Chain A
Amino acid sequence: MQKVKNLIGMEMEPYTFKVEQGKIREFVQAIGDSNPIYYDIESAKREGFENIPIPLTFLTAVEFWGGDNFLEHLSNFQVNPVRVVHGEQEYDLIQDIYAGDILTVTLKVVNVVVKHGSTGGMDLITTENKYKNQKNELVAISKGVTIHRH
């Protein structure tokens, strides 16, 4: 077992994920988002896109379906997955990402803060994902804070 602080700077093996139009549709249908740009290429083109774009939070599906299970990995660092909640999430959308794109994703732990309080402590683990497309262009960066209660 390693200490949670030792996670800082750790990078996971990069992985690739193909963005499929059917996955985009499934994702927005689950949310109940009926914006036609996600369903119909002509609507997407009218808004200035070249193809069906990803919705603002779609990269979470790329992370869960494409990546190694990061939460499982955390269990090697004294983190109990059952005691984990999602604290914060951010997306920087640098360039358009479309159905058909192949993304290469790198996850890095950028910070770990251990807090001690009267009602018990917590670890705040900040991870950053960088997404490049098939042309090797950086298209998005996401940051997430995972809270682990002791």
Chain B
Amino acid sequence: MYFDEFNVGDSFPVLKKEKITRVQLVKYAGASGDFNPLHTVEEVGEQAGTGIVAHGMLIMGMAAEGITNWIPRKQIKNFKVRFKKMTRPGESIHISGKVLEKRESNTIVGEVLACNTDGEVKLAGTFEAIIPSRDA
């Protein structure tokens, strides 16, 4: 897509992720190197009073997947999020986003949200992308 095809307020198609499983948390722990036992060990989750919770960075990774489904990876220059709520195994995450702003130098700023199926916001963030012009 070209820069002139993006309009402020345009929504991107929602990415619906499959239910998070404990096996997925084990895989993500190994892949990322984050072995905090809160994400994989039942007893540690119980002691913390939360139960097992997903890595925040796994949810950020899902948000990244959404963004790079909408806009080519090559064009993304900045991505930042705030973590709002913990996510537990069994929850399904939906990634939604929209165009917040268009700037000079072909930059668009987008919003990205990761929510569960009840609409609880797990993380909220923004990304910046440089989009080519039609005549470029």
Task: Please determine whether B83 and A86 come into contact, CB atoms closer than 8 angstroms.
Answer: yes
Q: How far is the CA of A104 from the CA of B55 in the complex (A)?
A: 25
Kindly name the residue among A26, A53, A93, A94 whose own CB sees the greatest number of chain B CB atoms within 10 A: A93
Q: Which of B31, B67, B80 contacts A61 (CB 8 A)?
A: B31
Distance in angstroms from B17 CB to nearest chain A CB is 6
Interface check B6, CB cutoff 8 A: no
Interface range on chain A (Cβ under 8 Å from partner)? 35 or more
Task: Please determine whether A31 and B80 come into contact, CB atoms closer than 8 angstroms.
Answer: no
Q: Which residues of A contact B32 (CB under 8 A)?
A: 27, 30, 60-61, 64
Binding site for B on A (CB under 8 A): 23, 26-27, 29-33, 35, 37, 47-49, 53, 55-57, 60-61, 63-65, 71, 81-82, 85-94, 96, 143
21 examples of A-B residue contacts, CB within 8 angstroms:
A23-B31, A26-B30, A26-B31, A27-B61, A30-B27, A30-B30, A32-B18, A37-B73, A47-B72, A47-B74, A53-B73, A57-B57, A65-B33, A71-B36, A85-B83, A87-B82, A88-B81, A88-B82, A89-B57, A91-B78, A92-B78
Binding site for A on B (CB under 8 A): 17-18, 24, 27-28, 30-34, 36, 38, 48, 56-58, 60-62, 64-65, 67-69, 72-74, 76-83
18 extra interchain contacts, Cβ-Cβ under 8 A, other than A37-B73, A90-B80? A23-B31, A27-B61, A29-B27, A30-B31, A31-B62, A32-B18, A33-B61, A35-B69, A35-B73, A48-B74, A56-B61, A56-B67, A57-B79, A82-B48, A89-B57, A89-B83, A92-B77, A94-B77
